[in-house]
Structure 1
């Protein structure tokens, strides 16, 4: 037995070696171009396989046949990740400043906020990680090999280059294999190439080294599934050296893009930071100018920073996102990272895999053609079986007689096993009232399996008292072997032109077409001669049907301003037909073939993607380039996929969406979201939840920032007027963390507005707070500032103590917050358009916050910490109507904006050139 070391698979120019030692080998031609004897020589093997000792030595050099797993992040990394938000940075700085000033109470409260935020985020991310890990299970635990000249069953981890592997129906291919012998071998490569149909294999090499993976008929790749037939071949690559391993390595090398929410958060935190610094500096300078001491003004500047920074925002953000995660989980969408919740709501383009996501990943006969005409074929169990003619009966019987699949009835309907095409023929027979088990009871005299060279299969059986050949295959091959055809009036000369025209018409609509024929025999069959002089019966046209509800979900996405692009490994005709049926593109719309992408530069590709909605024959690199081109064109891109071929694009997209049931571990590892039901309809539901989540994040932010704006203006105004500061730092924290802390958390539970999917997605450049809401923030802030300062000054002028006046100012702001909640709940319509009990949690949170504040005025501990005192009834009678004014002013602002068609008022005053 030769003992030369196995060569490294050269089908990709670069392969990640993983974490195992692999000996570097001189390059060799692509495996699919070499004849079998040369493959054996290069790999140092032969028809008797490897010797056990040689295999053990090679295993030491090449390592186990596994994809190097990516371990989950350690708990401390997940915990530290919770402190990477820009707003958290501001809070950390605020905590350090308060510690330096020995403001222990303020520092302790900020520390508690940081701890609560980290706990919520840490718990959610660890739970999501466990859910995804539980879904991972794509393995090929055993393999059949020839070693020491004998057939053995071994752990697939122990496969090495040069092993001779045996393949049979139902097996998952355990490594990359160069086939040297096949017998009707058909492999389902959907997880690698995206093709929905099985691919017939042969042992003949491909002459072109650049042959796409989907067309390398002499190769069987790791992770694919044998649909039918048998084969054997030499292992040419294992583990990370396989095509599956190469894609896994490419995926892990992709840099994770920041989500739109993270980008918005960073811009928002930067704006808050600038605002805090500018306000603090302005207050300090202004105070010194009017004669205050620098030390006193430094304390005022710190108080202003504490007032303006929304300490409760990180907690409210995290809770809003966690609630979105929970709502999505109830709708079969598992979110792995909290910011991904909102990303779907910002998505402008969804690039969807076809097989298994838009379609059911199972073939179904849709039409049957005979010389008597075309009839639709209903799904089995959809109603009473239709009446069929004897001609049509023979057509469906033939589809059962030469068939190796199985179909059986379960509580959930018919389940099938075996080749999807043959399973579709069984279900079609059931749909028209035939029973495959009864038909298959007919004795079998001979079988001819399907081979790509023949393009047909046949079975000779004794049925209903006579012997006959039953034949199915490619229409052109069956037509040329037929001399007669069965019509409604009996047999007639075969009309090959009519047959081929009907087949072409069906194929042009995206169907896979099979022809059926038979030949009754007068005596026993001649088993040395293949059937000929056949009687042509008709055609059965099948297609992988769309999932229920997908068409409606796609239309909903389009109405919500999102484009849906189908990216598939299928042929252009099939892809175009499915796209038209699903309303992704009109019939006859242009299709972008994957190989054409190779000839386009980045700018040309972006231009083409603006015009098309279907990409066919897409390889992994085409999908990745598509994602990058769309993102470079300003889109927020979501990409779905289930195969290892989808992993690089899933990782490069703004949000990668993997399949939980049919998907591979590699795809789930790359994704931000996993669909537990593999259904595109779930994406549409998740888009709605994502938009609702962002709207709630926006409401929380608007609520907190408008309060902060009021406090900022009040402090600057009091310094300019040489008044005492209307509140102390502890009171600012009380406002930010308690009296509005309960409400901002409750806003996260706000139900979505009914028209949330009627508006286009937000632009990536748009901030967390829109220009309209910034304008409303200023309006509300000014109203709350004026009301608070007016009552504060009133108390001082009436001879009240500074502590009493500050208590009035603090309580007035608390009341302003409660009334302002009505403004915040609805961005476009009137606050009175929603019932106060529409969000019971918010109603009770507002009541509880007010109750806590009232209690704080009478309890000695809080009186001491907050520097407050009880208020008389007449003070409440002044504060309540003043606080209610914020609703009146904001309602007027909403009315004016509606009259201007939703345009912010500042754009009316300040015209852009």
Structure 2
């Protein structure tokens, strides 16, 4: 992969740094379009293939520079920087200086093996993460020529092959592949949330004179890599690629990771042990010199004792455990851990900060209700909204349907079959589409022009969009639909079936139903014995509505759910909104106003109230805006729907026709909770993880999502209030607050830092470039697989989907790994400390060394090899319920207590050997003493592996390793191994006394473990 030559891969340029090439691109981008084309030696016809190849070689591929993969020597050198490895490397030369070559060789072998294993596992993890780059193949539509004289043509190429001077085509849904200067647009609007955090689309146009005071991302003529096309289309000139884009310069790759909580914990434990190790050799030498008068001949033994205290396999076990859990996460749940210590960090997380969309909610809204201008349920509003959505999508030829349109269409279709609901025919079957004006961020509305069957001389404009913008173009309130549409009543010539016997048709209070004029003869009476009651508040406008009806007080508390609308639309005897061919006004009455709202050109309507409509004055407009604001405060999103009739014409429709409209009502949408959100939140809460939402949305929207999930959001903290707090106050408030709204990227960073300052291990889930500062500030940064490249590069953990369930799996895996590492440390350190205490005591009590240096190292090597099986341990369920960080203070208390138990067993063994083996200075007696302690040491360590675990039953690998360890201990005193290792056979009486010692030792371990919460892990967690 090639990068720009002026910025080597892996370099982390400060955000303010600008290369000369980048500065030239910025200056060109602000020049007039013609000057930019000339400056880049390009033209509207695009580059030739030869020119593109030459520029690709000069500028490099259009990719974001990342960290260069480390070479094997570099990985190996990094593995050698471990504190324990450094101590072993220091002890090796000391052994060589006193000619203890066996000790030096064993130490060197331990260092080489552990470093090789660690390098290999980290390499495999990096390979898994790098594979994410190839999961999504991005392309761009570029205009190029095969030769200078050939005609240009558009074709798809990988975005990596784009070069400055290319002319590209943009359409809805396209991701901007590089920094570009617009040449031509048609209603172009971009989503720049990944860059700025703003969710609203931003209008773009090819201004030739950009305003000098415009902000970097506010320049209408410039589009930046990382944004995407919301609507419209255009052509643009590529001005910068790769390392020279704003995207790459503003958010450089993190070249060196900060120290994590896991690093701090392991380093704290390591340095605690290193202090003991540095004290051990001098103590052994002083004790032997003072009591026995021995000198340098005890140096190999002192070094062996120090090595015995060292958990040499700690780097190997840690890396193996983390790598195994990371591989299982990737294989089973699609979660990639890019940096192995991050698995511990996510297991230690007790606060998770996340956005709302895609985690707690679906990525698309759903219909909540359809309301008339007075806040009462009205399925007619939903019908007209569906007409608008269908014909806008069909006539505007949008390649990516708008999410709001899809929500409206889903509400009027059967959930499974996708067919129209009974009683509401599809709009494309009953209306003829004439024209469509798609949504754009300037007008903030979309219009469909349709013709109803039998209304060949009339066109109906159906407008849907922002409440403020639509109301600004309305002059009337609509109460009944245009002629030809029946609403809960029969139109001329339409028979409504009577209710089924025994079934009552009850309408909710406050319901307003509009219908075309109908006579009593057209509506058959119900069968005998069947009542058709109506609540007192029900109003039927079958004749022209009176002012009293139109002025009915609003009922903002009355809403109807989508499922309620579905029942209304399919109820027997209520074909609500059916437009019936031939049911419009008769030919002779075509020019006469009827009860409908669309009865002639709106411009020609009189200003006074008419049947079914009333004048929309300023007070009524303010009431509607206030009602919409109140609904928004409850977390709902409102779209206004308005209608107008125009005489049919052949000319084109434009925004100027969106005037003199009749306001029909509101379509209310909400963010639907994600299917797995409630269960995932419950699972995380059960593991002690508090979820906090940091969003740029309205406070009411975020709070409503929490309530929909069955949670109480409490007080909502907004970005404006965060600005007024200092860090100390924010830390206090952040702990008690679950929802943070109207947050900018800077607010998110402050909240994350405040939570960490309060002592919480904090995770942050984000997917945009604007989330990078918060990702860096958190203990563990998490992003979904489809996040932008630079965010994915900065994240510690990458999810297959933006789903809290995946995070729950990652938390579980992290705690499994942490519990396993903690078990290894407790077992290894308590056993090793007990041996060191016993060796120091033996140096004072015995006239000879209690064990030969080679035997000490062999024992240590056997124990270390057996401890690798602990990587397959399964912690107790209690270890998964709460975060269990590795705290050096807790380990010190634990290993001191259990180390003394081990030392007591060793001293009891010394007493048994004194009784059964001649305590003399003869070589045979010393060899038997060495053999007896060697055997006891390996068997007690095997018991520790099985009994000092956190789980209830040891897995098969641990049982096998413990059995092998005990077997080696029993075989060493026997020929032929005894002669090779300086051991000697032991008497039977020793084995009987040893069995008694081991039985008492096992009982003490079980009792101590039970006293401390039923296991080592639970004891540490309780601490």
TM-score, with normalisation over the residues of structure 2? 0.74
Instruction: Sort the Cα spacing of 1:397 and 1:51 in 2 relative to 1 into closer, same or farther, 3 A.
Output: closer
RMSD: 4.3
Which residue of 1 is the match for residue 943 of structure 2? 819
Q: Deviations over 1:133-186 (max 9, x none)?
A: 221156754344699998654765676667665422232212233546543323
Say whether the 8 Å CA contact 1:749–1:841 is kept in structure 2: yes
Which residue of 1 is the match for residue 298 of structure 2? 297
Unaligned runs of at least 5 residues, structure 2: 1-12, 481-511, 516-611
Secondary structure in structure 1 of the residue aligned to 2:67: coil
How many residue pairs align between the two structures? 853
Which residue of 2 is the match for residue 113 of structure 1? 110
Say whether the 8 Å CA contact 2:745–2:770 is kept in structure 1: yes
Which residue of 2 is the match for residue 426 of structure 1? 409
Which residue of 1 is the match for residue 513 of structure 2? 488
Tell me, in whole angstroms, the C-alpha distance in 2 between the residues paired with 1:100 and 1:374: 93
Say whether the 8 Å CA contact 2:718–2:743 is kept in structure 1: no
Say whether the 8 Å CA contact 2:355–2:766 is kept in structure 1: yes
Q: Is residue 657 of structure 2 the alignment partner of residue 542 of structure 1?
A: no
Q: Deviations over 1:813-867 (max 9, x none)?
A: 22222332344213xxxxxxx644x52322222223222333344352x324432
- Aligned with residue 140 of structure 2, among 135, 139, 142: 142
- Aligned with residue 734 of structure 1, among 854, 858, 877: 858
Tell me, in whole angstroms, the C-alpha distance in 2 between the residues paired with 1:683 and 1:435: 37
Which residue of 2 is the match for residue 91 of structure 1? 88
- Note the 1:466-865 alignment, pairs <5 A: 466=455, 467-482=459-474, 483=476, 484-486=478-480, 487-490=512-515, 491-493=612-614, 496=621, 499-519=624-644, 523-524=648-649, 527=652, 530-578=657-705, 581=708, 586-593=713-720, 606=731, 609-610=734-735, 612-616=737-741, 618-620=743-745, 622-624=747-749, 626-628=751-753, 630-632=755-757, 634-660=759-785, 662-739=786-863, 741-742=865-866, 744-762=867-885, 766-767=887-888, 769-797=890-918, 801-826=925-950, 835-836=952-953, 838-860=954-976, 862-865=977-980
Tell me, in whole angstroms, the C-alpha distance in 2 between the residues paired with 1:884 and 1:135: 54
Say whether the 8 Å CA contact 2:171–2:231 is kept in structure 1: yes
Tell me, in whole angstroms, the C-alpha distance in 1 between the residues paired with 2:410 and 2:56: 46
Tell me, in whole angstroms, the C-alpha distance in 1 between the residues paired with 2:952 and 2:284: 41
Tell me how far 1:700 sits from its aligned partner: 0.6
Tell me, in whole angstroms, the C-alpha distance in 2 between the residues paired with 1:72 and 1:13: 21
Instruction: Sort the Cα spacing of 1:55 and 1:320 in 2 relative to 1 into closer, same or farther, 3 A.
Output: closer
Instruction: Sort the Cα spacing of 1:92 and 1:252 in 2 relative to 1 into closer, same or farther, 3 A.
Output: same
TM-score, with normalisation over the residues of structure 1? 0.82
Which residue of 2 is the match for residue 172 of structure 1? 175
More displaced 10-residue stretch of structure 1: 457-466 or 890-899: 890-899
Tell me, in whole angstroms, the C-alpha distance in 2 between the residues paired with 1:40 and 1:786: 86
- Aligned with residue 992 of structure 2, among 868, 877, 895: 877
Tell me, in whole angstroms, the C-alpha distance in 1 between the residues paired with 2:144 and 2:864: 72
Tell me, in whole angstroms, the C-alpha distance in 1 between the residues paired with 2:109 and 2:397: 61
Q: Is residue 576 of structure 2 the alignment partner of residue 460 of structure 1?
A: no
Tell me, in whole angstroms, the C-alpha distance in 2 between the residues paired with 1:406 and 1:682: 39
- Aligned with residue 386 of structure 2, among 396, 408, 422: 396
Which residue of 2 is the match for residue 22 of structure 1? 21
Tell me how far 1:284 sits from its aligned partner: 0.8
Tell me, in whole angstroms, the C-alpha distance in 2 between the residues paired with 1:181 and 1:593: 38
Q: Deviations over 1:309-347 (max 9, x none)?
A: 223333322322222223322233211232222111222
Instruction: Sort the Cα spacing of 1:770 and 1:560 in 2 relative to 1 into closer, same or farther, 3 A.
Output: farther
Which residue of 2 is the match for residue 413 of structure 1? none
Instruction: Sort the Cα spacing of 1:434 and 1:370 in 2 relative to 1 into closer, same or farther, 3 A.
Output: farther
- Note the 1:329-478 alignment, pairs <5 A: 329=330, 330-370=332-372, 389=379, 392-403=382-393, 417-431=400-414, 435=419, 439-440=427-428, 442-466=431-455, 467-478=459-470
Secondary structure in structure 1 of the residue aligned to 2:190: strand
Secondary structure in structure 1 of the residue aligned to 2:449: strand
Unaligned runs of at least 5 residues, structure 1: 1-11, 376-387, 409-415, 827-833, 909-913
Which residue of 2 is the match for residue 9 of structure 1? none
Instruction: Sort the Cα spacing of 1:312 and 1:531 in 2 relative to 1 into closer, same or farther, 3 A.
Output: closer
Tell me how far 1:798 sits from its aligned partner: 6.9
Instruction: Sort the Cα spacing of 1:179 and 1:443 in 2 relative to 1 into closer, same or farther, 3 A.
Output: same
Secondary structure in structure 2 of the residue aligned to 1:96: helix
Secondary structure in structure 1 of the residue aligned to 2:180: strand
Tell me, in whole angstroms, the C-alpha distance in 2 between the residues paired with 1:96 and 1:522: 100
Instruction: Sort the Cα spacing of 1:872 and 1:371 in 2 relative to 1 into closer, same or farther, 3 A.
Output: farther
Tell me, in whole angstroms, the C-alpha distance in 2 between the residues paired with 1:234 and 1:160: 10
Which residue of 1 is the match for residue 502 of structure 2? none
Tell me, in whole angstroms, the C-alpha distance in 1 between the residues paired with 2:120 and 2:883: 33
Tell me how far 1:522 sits from its aligned partner: 6.4
Larger Cα Rg: Structure 1 or Structure 2? 2
Q: Deviations over 1:390-414 (max 9, x none)?
A: 5544443433232369999xxxxxx
Say whether the 8 Å CA contact 2:172–2:400 is kept in structure 1: no
